[in-house]
Amino acid sequence: MSGKVNHLLLMEMDGDNDTPQLGSPELAVSVYQSYGPLIDAIFAHDAPITVTQSCVDNFVMAEVISFLTQPRGRRNDYHMLRGQWTRIFSENLDGHHPRGEATVLTSDGCEFFACHWSR
């Protein structure tokens, strides 16, 4: 990909959900730590309960279930820590350099970040 792309912008949830093996306690804890605060934040809003339940059921839980039941390659989502992405980009994006990174959104226990790499 590095030969065809001049800029790469990644927006990601900072969670170690890809490294642990399917069915392992580490995966269960990692998914809980990543998605628990997100679910709490959704229910903390004063939207009608039917709206918040629908949001959790149709968006968040689909990802959680995918992580806990499907092997790599069949999952809907993959989330890695910021440092893991930096290592992968450094090793695989020849000629590209980090241009910047930022925390986009943060709450108790949950962080979304952005990284920009380019030639």
pTM for the model? 0.75
The answer on pLDDT for 47 being more than 90 is yes
Structure confidence at residue 117 (pLDDT): 92
pLDDT in tens, 85-105: 999 889 988 888 889 999 988
The answer on pLDDT for 2 being more than 90 is no
The mean pLDDT of 45-56, rounded to a whole number, is 94
Half-sphere exposure of 74 (CA within 13 A, CB side): 7
Match 């170690």 to its residue by tokens.
Answer: 16
Strand order in the sheet with 110-118: 7-13, 110-118, 97-107
* Domain chopping of the chain, boundaries: 1-16+80-119, 19-77
CATH topology of domain 1-16+80-119: Alpha-Beta Plaits (3.30.70)
